[in-house]
Structure 1
Amino acid sequence: MFGQLVDLVKPEEVLHHVQDAVAEGRKSVVANHNLHGLYLLQKHPEMRAFYEMAELIEVDSTPMIWFSRALGLHSRGFHRCTYLDWRDHFWSVANRKAWRIMAVGGAPGVGEEAARRLGARYPKTEIRTRHGFFDARAGSADNAEVVAEIQAFQPHILFVGMGMPRQELWTLAVFDALPDCVILSVGAAFDYEAGTQNPAPRWMGRAGIEWAYRLVQDPRRLFHRYCIEPWTLAPLAIRDLRAARRRMSGKTAARGADFGAPPTRNFPRGT
């Protein structure tokens, strides 16, 4: 969709992928696409390399699921998944398997509060956090310090929540230096866990109106994202719809040709 590959997966399938990668000790990136990310790809084409190395790309947008149905794809509402959709399942698994989890991002103090709350509920996990207010440029002392901390901790899971496109570009830049772990770009996940941001009720996500809840919460920051940016994707949407129409017309013509052809039968020799 919109020139990008996505995986139509359910939240439990995301967790299966994460568990398999951890069990195999494999470094794996789990990314996500939403309308904001698609808009940013037009401004930051270097993000494409991040998505190309991802093993799994979630669809973090109910409108994208609706659009995929218009393209004739076999998508359903449960294919929309993001951190808030699988968080409880994730932390239950992490606790049972005693995973080491590190989160990079958020304002100073947010990660610590999130870790305190999560640690009380999931005491078998080991959680370490690092705020996202550091010099993320390649070669900076701050950047080297953060990477060294991750290397020393050797997490099973690395959450990167520094907002788009910073989290994707940072992951891409330091990927080779990171230990073998599952890396997930999660935006404001730990802000939700710390209580500094209120997540929308999950029924709003399923109904495709979570954006409205977030817009009311923070209109100054999110007005452009939700009310302006989607319109820039119109040319890509039109191209996809035309391609889908040609594809469907081709299938209809092929079915018609098959229906009109005389049936063939293979009789045994001698009959």
Structure 2
Amino acid sequence: MTISAAAVAQQPATQEQPPGRLEVSAQHTLEVAPNMATLSARLWERTPARAVDSAREASPEALSEARTRLESRMGELIRTLEDKGLPRDAIQAGSLSVQPNYVQGPVNAEGQPEQRVRTQLTRPITLTLDDLETLPGLLDALTVAGVDSLDGVSYDLKDRSAASDKALGLAIDRAKAKATLMAERLNITLGRVLQVQETQVPSFQPQMMMRAGDASTKEMASEYRPGQIEIDAEVAVHWAIADD
């Protein structure tokens, strides 16, 4: 007995065409006045210089004396800052670092300056200010205390998340406004949102400005202008184009 099978041709399934879409990118820069600042400075002490090719290192006595001077200055500076009203938790006194410091010595018989080395002991200090009005007074206190390096002031926001969310929301609003305008001009109807992507995480770009006071006055008074912190946010949104 012979069994034959008839081949059944299958019709291809109708594929649903993807809807038309409108793709919009939008960016917004939010400018916010800073409400906090971080001030960084350093204190250091050095041992007497010695010849580089000398096998003798800084004596323990010289190192101990330099560290005693450094710790005394740091303690006095911290007490001065607290007397100025700065809270204890706003003062961060960093740990001690020790490193060689090379300097030029006297000229030798060949007419070349000798290279000398001394040991430098350094401690950083960082101040966090919640009240920017106190900045000039604290800078004066650091100057009077004789800090060896004033590394500058950086401005920031106490609540970065709230500012980032606001910048992102404004970028989304900008994307919606652009999409609405394009739909009106193209005589199309927007459907549902197909895709939304944050193409740039909100980034902070602090700006700092400093302006000296009137030079005609006998006492120079500096005005510190922090400027504005710029927060950039960017999104890309895809809308379906509805069939009329």
TM-score w.r.t. the length of structure 1 is 0.20
Higher relative contact order (CA 8 A, sep 6+): 2
TM-score w.r.t. the length of structure 2 is 0.22
* Rg comparison, structure with higher value: 2
